[in-house]
Amino acid sequence: MTDIAKRYKHNPLLSPKDLKPSNKHMIIECLLNPGVFEFNGKTGLLVRVAERTVQKEGIVSVPIYNNLGKVEILNFNLNDPKLDTSDARIINYDGMDYLTTISHLRLLFSDDGITFKESEAYPSIFGEGEYESFGIEDCRVAKIEDTYYLTYTMVSTNGVGVGLRTTKDWKNFEKKGMILSPHNKDCAIFEEKINGLFYAFHRPSSPELGGNYIWLAESPDAVHWGNHKCIAKTREGKFDSNRLGAGAAPIKTEKGWLEIYHGATAGNRYCLGAILLDLKDPSKVIARSEEPIMEPKATYELTGFFGEVIFTNGHQLIGDKINMYYGAADEFVGLATFSIKEILKTLEQS
């Protein structure tokens, strides 16, 4: 048995029915991949809410944000031979891809890490402008000094890139624009500077030569990134054979920086693995999971909007315990706990 995650017995923690759609034209299809942070003594989740427009018979309609940040609806006839609806996440019409859902980020808070509630005082975060016209997704939150750094996926017809917004109070946000250009996602900033520099993982895609690998970069200000180094590649025959990407900010341990990442096969089965990096020079890899530390096995992980998916980009640390929040089957938010020591033990064995 390689799965060492302890799932919360009342999982899933959150389902689409638990929240209200952002407006009357939309229905919530999925809740997924939350960023996690602590604020005013509470646990905060920045949940990705994916909404679909209410569908009419014989027609597929998809939402996009126009330049004014308002939702527009595009309609396609289901019988049109130019339409491809084989992937639940994307439709293709005449060579152009459109997302079937559009995502925004919803703030939820909890006193116990289990019961999460929205508060009117903290409004949702929506995509804005031409680089976020298909929404914003999978936000990592890193707290450095008194500032929260939100790195998230910006989606539009221009491509998929990494956006940064910062906040101190979760009400006022500073938009720093696109910090890593397409195709790039899965960006997690370290919560501590090393030799005065910010560090971050990111995941550019280079399908013809190279692949979907985890990279590390440095920056003087968290906006301008350089000295990019590739630290983890896909491995044939393993759980991360087709694609991999970082989860949340890495955990500082005595043995090194511990990062929980997702790895997927060509069949789109998403598992979690761990990687250990040198404390002083995180471009040096000390160890990496041979087998996943968590794989889809509960019903809510195996079946949903997009089955066989476990994807994380947020956790809270309590001593040796990691409270990991994760997207299950791209539809639900689950909670699982890990022991840091236990993960490190599996890495020693590999």
CB 305 within 8 A of CB 329: yes
Footprint (CB under 6 A) of ligand MAN, residues 316-335 = 327, 330
What's the Cα-to-Cα distance from 173 to each of 147, 164, 176, rounded to whole Å? 10, 10, 9
Footprint (CB under 6 A) of ligand MAN, residues 20-59 = 32-33
Q: Helix/strand/coil (H, E, C) string of 25-50?
A: CEEEEEEEEEEEEEECCEEEEEEEEE
Under DSSP, the state recorded for 194 is B
Footprint (CB under 6 A) of ligand MAN, residues 171-230 = none
306 binds ligand MAN (CB under 6 A): yes
239 binds ligand MAN (CB under 6 A): no
Candidate list 29, 51, 132, 138; residue touching ligand MAN; CB under 6 A: 138
Long-range contacts of 92-101 (CB under 8 A, 24+ apart): 96/157, 98/62, 98/64, 98/74, 98/134, 99/62, 99/134, 99/135, 99/155, 100/29, 100/52, 100/60, 100/62, 101/29, 101/30, 101/50, 101/51, 101/52, 101/63, 101/135
User: How far apart are CB 223 and ligand MAN at their closest, in Å?
Assistant: 24
Residue (198 or 325) nearer to ligand MAN, CB: 325
Candidate list 132, 137, 218, 259; residue touching ligand MAN; CB under 6 A: 137
277 binds ligand MAN (CB under 6 A): no
Candidate list 311, 326, 332, 338; residue touching ligand MAN; CB under 6 A: 311
Stretch that binds ligand MAN, among 114-122, 233-241, 305-313, 337-345 (CB under 6 A): 305-313
Q: Which residues bind ligand MAN (CB under 6 A)?
A: 32-33, 137-138, 270, 306, 309, 311, 327, 330
